[in-house]
Amino acid sequence: MVESVLKKLGQTDNCVLDDVFVQAVSEVLTSLELTIRSDSRYEQFAIIERLVTPDRIIQFKVQWLDDHNNVHVNNGYRVQFNNSLGPYKGGLRFHPSVTVDVLKFLAFEQIFKNSLTGLPIGGAKGGSDFDPKGKSDFEIMKFCHAFMRELHPYIGARIDVPAGDIGVGSREIGYLFGEYKHITRNYDGVLSGKPYAFGGSLMRPQATGYGVVYFAREMLKEELQESLEEKVCTVSGAGNVAIHTIEKLQQLGAIVVTCSDSDGTIYDPKGIDLALLRHLKDEGRRLSLVEYINTHPHALYTPKTEYPDGGHTVWHIPCFAAFPCATQNELTLIDAQKLVENGCVAVVEGANMPTLPDAIELFLREGVLFSPGKASNAGGVAVSEFEMSQNASMEKWEFEKVDRKLDELMRQIYKRVSLTAKEYGVERNFVDGANIAAFKRLSEAMILEGV
């Protein structure tokens, strides 16, 4: 079954770096093979074919003026993948590496992630090949306005609710919302991750990273009777997810010794100085991590050019638990071998699909607890849904309330994933557990709504 679907998608190999959509589909279908055979309705309703085909892909031209009045043109996209469980929901990514393939993989993952939350949200993803690096605040604003001029007909509070992802934080969402409002005069909760000043939920900026750590804490407690206190942890990335993962790990007493950006890695054996990291990477500033060692000469900076062949420096530093929080395919088989060799007991994904398939296989074989991003990073989209709820009822919830609900939801996701794995005879395989649990809820809705 996996082979025939992949063939139809134009690909038969199981692990292809330059086709991330096929990579994501392949992982999910491999998990589902037995489940699909267990119920004839899946074939009768062509569930798999419907599941791997996006509802629609919207592509548009984004033209904008820089600060010197030069004209620029970028590609803009929204992949609305599946809305069987609720309005399309998922982030926008602004990064030069954005292509339709990347957004299809992210949107496909999103439908499973959103299903796992148990909340009424479908899945989508969008973005642009625009590079925010080195752009002035006004240029970011002009780009966001131009992007929304093209996107606005396709979104709505009960239709499709975009949010942030790589290169898109509350500043960008603020500008996008501003333009949406100018055009439509509508104050609906059409975007989540808005600034708190106009409809954003408290804790949305922290939600993904905090949720990752809540998930990790629960998994370690239940599976190993372990805690994160005084444990050495490694984190990759230096953006929204990485910073809040580091913050919550530190609050729980863990010692986080690494972070990284697209140019290099910091190893600080005394523990990452979070205030300095924020200072370097605050929205708009985006300085290089090499600056970290100016004030912290005991720390080590490794430029990307000196990474181990086929690997990433972060994962070669001994740790109790590892948290990949930068981007897709950033943890290779070589890195996984090093993590296992160094006695790492858990890998908890904060990014979307950061671990390569053969690295995941190794973790599962070696008994390293491995949590796929669609389970452990679902806290971000969950708090986005909380924001939609607050907007719809014109309420504002307190920080503590959102935090409590997030913690509870992450524990539920862990339980759902681990119980499903047990029920299907693959105990502690949280990849299969997550894919099967998400599929069951989603496919039921697709069957019940008819074709």
* One residue of 192, 352, 429, 435 binding ligand NDP per CB under 6 A: 352
Q: In this structure, are residues 336 and 313 in contact, taking their beta carbons and an 8 Å threshold?
A: no
Minimum gap (Å) between residue 402 Cβ and ligand 2IT:
13
Interacting stretch for ligand 2IT, rule CB under 6 A, among 84-92, 209-217, 417-425, 436-444? 84-92
Name the residue number minimizing CB distance to ligand NDP. Answer: 239
Question: Rounded distance, CA 81 to CA 378, Å?
Answer: 17
d(CA 154, CA 140): 22
Closest to 74 measured CA to CA, from 20, 132, 19, 18: 132
β partners of residue 369: 346
**Which residues, numbered 352-391, are part of the site for ligand 2IT (CB under 6 A)?**
352, 380-381, 384
Using CB under 6 A as the binding rule, whether residue 311 contacts ligand NDP is answered as: no
Provide the 10 A C-beta neighbour count for residue 409.
24
Report how many residues bind ligand NDP under the rule CB under 6 A.
Answer: 25
90 binds, among ligand NDP, ligand 2IT, none (CB under 5 to 8 A by kind): ligand 2IT
375 binds ligand NDP (CB under 6 A): no
* Least distance (Å) between residue 301 CB and ligand NDP: 13
Q: Token pair of 182, please?
A: 């100018």
Dist CA 195 CA 191 (whole Å): 11
Lay out the sheet containing 255-256: strands in order across: 255-256, 232-235, 321-323, 346-348, 369-371
The DSSP code for 240 is H
DSSP tag of 40: T
d(CA 92, CA 94): 7
Phi and psi angles of residue 3, each rounded to the nearest 5 degrees, phi first? -60, -45
**Contacting ligand NDP (CB under 6 A), which of 47, 220, 235, 238?**
238
Determine, following the binding rule CB under 6 A, whether residue 324 of this chain makes contact with ligand NDP.
no
Among 380, 386, 397, 402, binds ligand NDP (CB under 6 A): 380
Closest approach, Cβ 173 to ligand NDP, in A, equals 11
At which residue do the structure tokens 């849904």 appear?
Answer: 385
The least CB distance from residue 43 to ligand NDP, in Å, is 33
Q: Given candidates 80, 128, 192, 443, which one binds ligand 2IT under the rule CB under 6 A?
A: 192
Closer residue to ligand NDP (CB): 286 or 411: 286
Does residue 144 contact residue 109 with C-beta atoms inside 8 Å? no
**Contacted by 314, from ligand 2IT, ligand NDP, none: CB < 5 to 8 Å by type:** none
Q: Alpha carbon 225 to chain centroid distance? A: 27
125 is catalytic: yes
Phi-psi region of 167 (alpha: psi -120 to 50; beta: other; left: phi over 0): left
Min. distance of Cβ 106 from ligand 2IT in angstroms? Answer: 7
CB nearer ligand NDP, residue 48 or residue 166: 166
Residue 80 touching ligand 2IT (CB under 6 A):
no
Q: What is the DSSP string of 314-374?
A: GGGS--SEEE--S-TT-B-HHHHHHHHHTT--EEE--SSS-B-HHHHHHHHHHT-EEE-HH
Which of 165, 218, 335, 349: binder of ligand 2IT (CB under 6 A)?
A: 165
Question: Pairing state of beta strands 258-260 and 264-267?
Answer: antiparallel
Binding of ligand NDP by 144 (CB under 6 A): no
Which entry of 89, 104, 113, 125 is annotated as an active-site residue?
125
Query: Phi and psi for 49 in degrees, rounded to 5?
Result: -60, -40
Query: Which among 319-327, 336-344, 403-411, 434-442 is the span making contact with ligand NDP, rule CB under 6 A?
Result: 319-327
Question: Using the rule CB under 6 A, is 127 a contact of ligand NDP?
Answer: no
Sole window of 15-23, 160-168, 359-367, 391-399 interacting with ligand NDP (rule: CB under 6 A): 160-168
Question: Quick one: which of 11, 75, 250, 262 contacts ligand NDP (CB under 6 A)?
Answer: 262
Give the nearer residue to ligand 2IT in terms of CB position, either 144 or 381: 381
- Residue 327 within binding range of ligand NDP, rule CB under 6 A: yes
Residues annotated as catalytic are 125
Give contact residues for ligand 2IT (rule: CB under 6 A). 89-91, 110, 113, 163, 165, 192, 352, 380-381, 384
